[in-house]
Amino acid sequence: MKKTSILFCLILIFIIAGCNTLSRQKPLIGITSVYKDNSNSLSYNYIKAVEQNNGIPLILPTVENEETIETYINKLDGLVLIGGADIPPSAYNQAPHPTVKIMADKRYNFERRLIKKWLNAGKPVLGICLGMQFTNVVSGGTMIQDIPSQIGKKVDHRCKEKLHKITIDPSSNLAKILNSTQAHVYSTHHQAVKEIGRNLKPVAKTDDGIVEALERTDGCFGLFVQWHPEAMTKDIEHRDAIYSALIKACLKSRK
């Protein structure tokens, strides 16, 4: 082999090794996706929020194979559970309210197993909107199926053009992350958690009493918010504070 060829091979090996080292410095973050009409989709805002906070985003398709789910658990450093349609009320022993629009069975069966296994693994997780609700239900909690008809319209929780205020428990991890006991957030939901599931506690509420954030109580990093920080493009500091907290927790959990 010519000296130039040997040199090229050595340089290539060095580059590959360097890239692998870099990839392990940055945590691998799985992001769930919406399953509908035999396809998966995801807002690019989630990808940007992870990548711009030094994580490597990996979109998780809806799968049925148990071994694939176990591989997700073993290989990923962190998990983002995204928003979407409603959880089947049968999952928390209720009849459906007329406003409920149930998610596809494939997504429900996949994420139900993924969330349960992920929580048992104790790895860092960030739940957004449905991700917060789904975690609560998997943990044994229940849901308010329709805020406007069952709670009222004091706060517009589907405020697509304006923010609404939340009050944060000063002793919570969320208060430390945001360095504040108040925030103004963007959300789009008509449901909310009611009875709180195992190993979870409420840490933020709106003026109408709706729980806007949950945290794990078992010592593992688990933050679940009802709003969409990745969509708050006019408040990047807020977005980055939440997503970087997930990334930092992933790096810490490796040690």
Q: Tokens for 66, please give them.
A: 């148990």
Is residue 228 annotated as part of the catalytic site, yes or no?
A: yes
Tell me the sheet residues that pair with 167.
Answer: 182, 205
One of 129, 189, 190, 238 is an active-site residue; which one?
Answer: 129
Residue type, 21: T
> In this structure, are residues 111 and 32 in contact, taking their beta carbons and an 8 Å threshold?
yes
Instruction: Tell me which of 111, 212, 215, 230 is the catalytic residue.
Output: 230
Element (H, E) at 13: helix 3-25
The backbone torsions φ and ψ at residue 30, rounded to the nearest 5 degrees and listed phi first, read: -80, 140
Closest CA to 92 of 136, 132, 142, 134: 142
Collapsing DSSP to helix, strand or coil, 221 comes out as: coil
Write down how long the chain is: 255
Active site residue 230: yes
Per annotation, catalytic residue among 157, 189, 190, 228: 228
Any idea which residues carry the catalytic annotation? Answer: 129, 228, 230
